[in-house]
Structure formats: structure tokens, C-alpha cells
Amino acid sequence: MLKIFKVTAILEGISYLVLFSNMLFIKINNPELYHTILRPLGMTHGVLFIGYVLLAFLLKKAQNWNFKVFGVILVASLVPFGTFYIEKKYL
């Protein structure tokens, strides 16, 4: 399950950065592309985010994460590049 969490962390980080960059560059210049590009990217990122959080809760006990480490792992999902840091440091 740890390997699945690592892959999910990386994919969630990539989807967050792709979504963020597309929101900055595509939506400003072409707001009509929302339904064709941004909506599917947002849905993908949302599913990966929920998977990341659920897997973190499932692995908390198995990996013996204390409250501080677990909090850092959860907060990292909200920060750009945060999941990459978690993958390298804690996983």
C-alpha cells in the first residue's frame, strides 16, 4: 500500500501543478475552454487528492506516524510541490 501512496502522491502533485498552471494561463486568455480542459483536470485532481488523504489515513497506523508527521503529510497536499517533498522525506 505504501507504493500506491507514493504513486498517488506524485500524481496528485503533478495534477495540482498542471491544474494551477492551466488556470493561470488558459482560463485568463480563453475562458470558454473551461468545460473542455479545466473541468476534467479539476475532476482528476480532486479524485487524486481524495485518494491521497484516504491513503494517508489508512497508512497512519501501519507506518507509526505521530500526529506531527501525519499533520505535515496532510498539509503538504495543499501546498504546491508539497507532495513531492513528502514522497522524498517520509516515504
Q: Give me the domain span that covers residue 83.
A: 2-89
C-alpha to C-alpha distances, 87 to 2, 33, 55, 74, nearest whole angstrom = 10, 33, 13, 12
Q: What is the pLDDT of residues 63-77, one digit of tens each?
A: 888 899 888 888 888
8 near 51, Cβ under 8 Å? yes
> What's the pLDDT at 54?
92
Give the pLDDT band of residue 21 (cuts 50, 70, 90): confident
> What's the pLDDT at 44?
86
> Does residue 28 surpass a pLDDT of 70?
no
How far apart are the C-alpha atoms of 71 and 68, rounded to whole Å?
5
Q: What is the pLDDT of residues 34-87, one digit of tens each?
A: 667 777 888 888 899 999 899 989 988 888 888 998 888 888 888 888 778 887
DSSP output for 11-38: HHHHHHHHHHHHHHHHHHH-GGGGTTTH
> Does residue 19 surpass a pLDDT of 70?
yes
Number of domains present in the structure of the chain: 1
> Does residue 11 surpass a pLDDT of 70?
yes
